[in-house]
C-alpha cells in the first residue's frame, strides 16, 4: 500500500493536481476499496466514493460562407448627356442661372450671400460655358490674360487652367477678395455700385 501512495505522490509532483483528481475519479468509478492500516490495529475500512469532477469544454462552431460575388451592371445605352442635363436643370431650378456651379463656388470659398451676383457674372461673361474664350479672357468668369503672372504664382496657366471650373472659380474668388466686383464691370457700373 505504501508503494501505491508513493506512486501517487510521485504523479502529483510530476503532473499536478489534475492527475490526482483523475485518479481519484477513476477509483470512485471502479468502486475500489482501500485498505488502510493504522498503527494500533489492522482494521479494514472502506472509503466513501469521491465525487466526480466534471468540466465543460466549450465547443466551436464553424460556418462556411458562400463565396463573394460581384455583379456587373450593364450601363450600355445609358443617356449620360440626358442625365447630366437633368442634373443641370435641377440645379438651375434651385439656384438660378448657372446653378450647376453653385456648390462648387461655395466649396472654393465664395460666400453664399454673393451667389446671386456671381451667377450673374458667370451668365453674362460665359453663358455658363466652361471653355469660353474670346482671345484674352477665359473660362466661366472670363479671367483676363493680365492675370497670367498671378496665375503662374499659383501654379496655373492662362488660358488652359481657367477652362477648369474649379480653378476658374477659385481664382475669381481670390480676385474678388482683393478687388471686389470691379474686374467684372463694364460700361461704368455693375449692379449700381
Each residue's pLDDT tens digit in the chain (193 positions)? 566 566 666 666 666 666 556 666 655 555 544 444 444 444 455 666 777 777 777 777 888 888 888 888 888 898 999 998 899 889 889 999 999 999 999 999 999 999 999 999 999 999 999 999 999 999 999 999 999 999 999 999 999 999 999 999 999 999 999 999 999 986 445 555 4
Contact 127, 101 (CB under 8 A): no
Check the CA dihedral 142-148-152-154 and report its sign: negative
Domain boundaries, the chain: 1-52, 80-184
In angstroms, the CA 129 to CA 138 distance is 10
Predicted TM-score (pTM) of this structure: 0.58
How many CA atoms, within 13 angstroms, populate the side-chain half-sphere of residue 75? 5
Contact 130, 163 (CB under 8 A): yes
CATH 1.10.530 fits 80-184, yes or no: yes
Check the CA dihedral 163-167-171-176 and report its sign: positive
In a 3-state reduction of DSSP, which class is residue 29? helix
Amino acid at each position: 500500500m505504501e508503494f501505491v501512495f508513493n506512486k501517487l505522490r510521485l504523479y502529483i509532483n510530476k503532473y499536478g493536481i489534475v492527475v490526482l483528481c483523475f485518479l481519484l475519479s477513476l477509483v470512485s468509478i471502479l468502486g475500489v476499496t482501500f485498505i488502510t492500516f493504522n498503527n494500533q490495529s489492522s482494521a479494514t475500512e472502506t472509503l466513501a466514493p469521491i465525487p466526480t469532477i466534471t468540466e465543460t469544454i466549450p465547443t466551436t462552431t464553424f460556418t462556411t460562407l458562400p463565396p463573394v460575388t460581384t455583379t456587373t451592371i450593364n450601363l450600355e445605352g445609358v443617356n449620360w448627356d440626358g442625365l447630366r442635363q437633368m442634373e443641370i436643370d435641377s440645379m438651375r431650378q434651385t439656384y438660378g442661372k448657372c446653378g450647376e456651379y453653385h456648390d462648387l463656388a461655395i466649396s472654393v470659398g465664395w460666400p453664399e450671400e454673393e451667389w446671386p451676383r456671381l451667377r450673374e457674372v458667370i451668365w453674362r461673361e460665359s453663358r455658363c460655358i466652361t471653355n469660353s474664350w474670346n482671345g484674352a479672357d477665359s473660362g466661366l468668369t472670363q479671367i483676363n490674360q493680365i492675370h497670367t503672372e498671378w496665375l503662374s504664382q499659383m501654379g496655373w496657366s492662362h488660358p488652359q487652367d481657367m477652362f477648369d471650373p474649379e480653378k476658374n472659380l477659385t481664382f475669381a474668388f481670390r480676385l474678388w477678395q482683393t478687388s471686389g466686383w470691379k474686374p467684372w464691370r463694364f460700361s461704368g457700373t455693375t449692379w449700381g455700385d
